[in-house]
Amino acid sequence: MATWKASSSSSPAASPSRRFIYYRRRTKASPPRRPSSESPPRKMRSIADVMAKSPPVVEQEQDDGYGDVTCEKCDLGERDDELLLCDKCDKGFHMKCLRPIVVRVPVGPWVCVDCSDQRPVRRLSQKKIMHFFRIEKQIDQTERSQLSQESRKHRRRSCSLTVKKRRRKLLPMVPSEDPEQRFAQMGTLASALTALGIKYSDDLTYVPGMAPRSANRSKFEKGGMQVLSKEDLETLELCRAMYRRGECPPLVVVFDPLEGYTVEADGPIKDLTFIAEYTGDVDYLKNRENDDCDSIMTLLLSEDPSKTLVICPDKYGNISRFISGINNHNRFGKKKQNCKCVRYSVNGECRVLLVATRDIAKGERLYYDYNGYEHEYPTHLFL
């Protein structure tokens, strides 16, 4: 008994420490026990149960301050897709209520007439019309009678009796006799050109960076081009001289809500009467493949597609830019055609002339076929 006590008392401090370390090394850590008073975890509810019991949320529309905007001209707020808002005064204007009428939605900022620096386009005076079209000073009565006699002699010419089939000739236009009526006709054209930002030009224009004039040669035409005869060339020069004197064909430019700007006859026009020459900027077709201009006209079809030329009346043009095209995919569209577009070789250059194909009555609109040569223009979308 004494021996056991001696051995145990020889290391009184080491024995408990040794037993503690031995216990820590042999025993694994157990998870902490949850008190008996704590409740078990709840199960998560599904999103369907949450949505079924939750009250519906009503989305409030954000008021941008433009919901009650009305047109300043007609005091109506309908047709909001045609309502333009001024970027300065926030006033609304319908595109068709403006004068001149806005055909397309403007790209970028837009300001109304009151906020813009430009004056509104109103009815032009005779002096402004003469300046717009660069009309020459009126000649006296004696010279006018001489010119009328020459034009009558020109119309009385006839072919030889030995020719079985008479060749059809171009006839010069017959302007309205009333000068006031002629100025009113030219005023409609000037207003339409001004509304679209187009400058008047009765000739083809060659702008640096586009096709040069040397590229417009009829000898480059694929398969050749018909040459304008000497008599028809005299008729063309006579009509151009009449344009310079302010004597235009009896035509007016009107706006149609569906077709846009169109041309109507303000007097009778005979068959084969020269109407106008298609004018504008001359450019290569490769430069205009992605152009959004809706009145591009073919001028030269070359063997080399890179040398094909077109007329683009988006900056310069005349009344031919507003003559509508027919839908040549149905018979009703073809019945409306009353003029045609013909390409001629005039002094070695390509020119495009618009000529009446039948008698046109007063009030009748002018239509021609856009696909006179290539048959590639999508005219099935036309009215």
Per-residue pLDDT of 64-85, as tens digits, reads 556 678 888 888 877 778 888 8
Confidence of residue 33 (pLDDT cuts 50, 70, 90): low
Confidence of residue 356 (pLDDT cuts 50, 70, 90): very high
Reduced to 3 states, what is the DSSP secondary structure of residue 352? strand
Check pLDDT > 50 for residue 371.
yes
Q: What is the pLDDT of residue 13?
A: 45
Identify the weakest region by mean pLDDT among 34-38, 169-173, 302-306, 307-311: 34-38
Residues whose CB is less than 8 angstroms from the CB of residue 199 and which lie 6 or more positions away in sequence, other chains included: 193, 315, 316, 317
Percent of the chain clearing pLDDT 90 (strictly above): 35
Q: What is the DSSP letter of 366?
A: P
**pLDDT (average), residues 176-192:** 91
- Number of residues written out for the chain: 383
Check pLDDT > 80 for residue 101.
no
Distances, alpha carbon 76 to alpha carbons 67, 81, 85, 95, 357, in Å: 12, 13, 14, 13, 45
Q: Which residues pair with 355 in a beta bridge?
A: 274, 340
Check pLDDT > 80 for residue 151.
no
Per-residue pLDDT of 211-244, as tens digits, reads 999 999 999 998 889 999 999 999 999 999 998 8
Per-residue pLDDT of 243-293, as tens digits, reads 888 888 999 999 887 778 899 999 999 999 999 999 999 999 999 887 767
Report CA Rg, the chain.
42
Integer Cα distance of 214 and 350 in angstroms: 11
Q: What is the CATH number of domain 179-368?
A: 2.170.270.10
Strands (E), the chain: 83-85, 92-94, 199-200, 251-256, 260-265, 274-277, 281-284, 297-300, 309-312, 316-317, 324-325, 339-346, 349-356, 367-368
Integer Cα distance of 335 and 278 in angstroms: 23
Q: Which residues of 279-306 are buried (b: 16+ CB within 10 A; e: fewer)?
A: bbbbbbbeebeeeebebbbbbbbbeeee
